[in-house]
Chains A and B, each alone.
Chain A
């Protein structure tokens, strides 16, 4: 299984919104609703932001939202804050108890 495709980088000024895409295939994102998103700060373990395409775990600000269309999932960070500067990864179920991560996107707050 191949990694899901994300843009290497994205940026925005404080208060703006940034959207990160995650493109897979009909064997993963296109078929299943089990897409999750993770935020990873340097030297730290990833933290789940979104699960099942658009659900937020308790404690995750509603500035983070997810969606899916066809083979592409998206994460939008609204009202960018300095603390949002991090790497972001998508992850999708790929069938037969297999999961695949995205290539990762580095978000810079200008």
Chain B
């Protein structure tokens, strides 16, 4: 059974860089059927798709975060990571990594079908 687990600092200072890792067990991130995505949710607010990476290490990002966000995959460690620069209080959120069974250009999108437990990252001033 594939599982995802987020890890990283729970507190980041404003203007600094947020870095999280998603470790995948029970399966490989090298499958061509999936994207490996990050999603966040500020306290009391809705979900926001951040972006993702596929097995070729091709990335895609939410345009509203482009320029601050980098997502990369490490096939050798079976993990992928999120880096968000110049953080502010607005970046305080629960961050999830998720498997996204989707290939729009191949004609399918089965949604975000597996999620990690999530990790709360707070930005301090």
Contact = CB atoms under 8 A, between A and B. Distances in A.
Interface stretch (B12-20, B44-52, B68-76, B77-85): B44-52
Given A32-B104, A104-B47, A45 B118 contact: yes
B110 A57 contact: yes
Contact of B112 (A46, A52, A100): A46
Interface stretch (A11-19, A67-75, A76-84, A91-99): A91-99
Interface string A40-73: 1000011110111001010000000000000000
Contact of A45 (B60, B63, B110, B117): B117
Interface string B82-120: 000000000000001010001010001111110111100
A45 B110 CA distance: 17
Interface residues of A, number: 28
A101 B104 contact: no
A36 B109 contact: yes
Contact of B47 (A46, A55, A97): A46
A96 B46 CA distance: 22
Contacts of B31: none
Interface of A: 1, 3, 32, 34, 36, 38, 40, 45-48, 50-52, 55, 57, 89, 91, 93, 96-104
A45 B98 CA distance: 10
Contacts of B115: 45-47
A102 B108 CA distance: 20
Interface residues of B, number: 23
B125 interface: no
A48 B60 contact: no
Contact of A91 (B63, B96, B108, B111): B111
B interface SS class: strand
A1 B111 contact: no
Contacts of B117: 45
B109 A51 contact: yes
Given A89-B47, A97-B104, A48 B112 contact: yes
Determine which residue in B48, B60, B104 has the highest number of CB atoms from chain A within 10 A of its CB, and name it.
Answer: B104
B118 A52 contact: no
Task: Give the interface centre of A89, A99, A104 by most chain B CB atoms within 10 Å.
Answer: A99
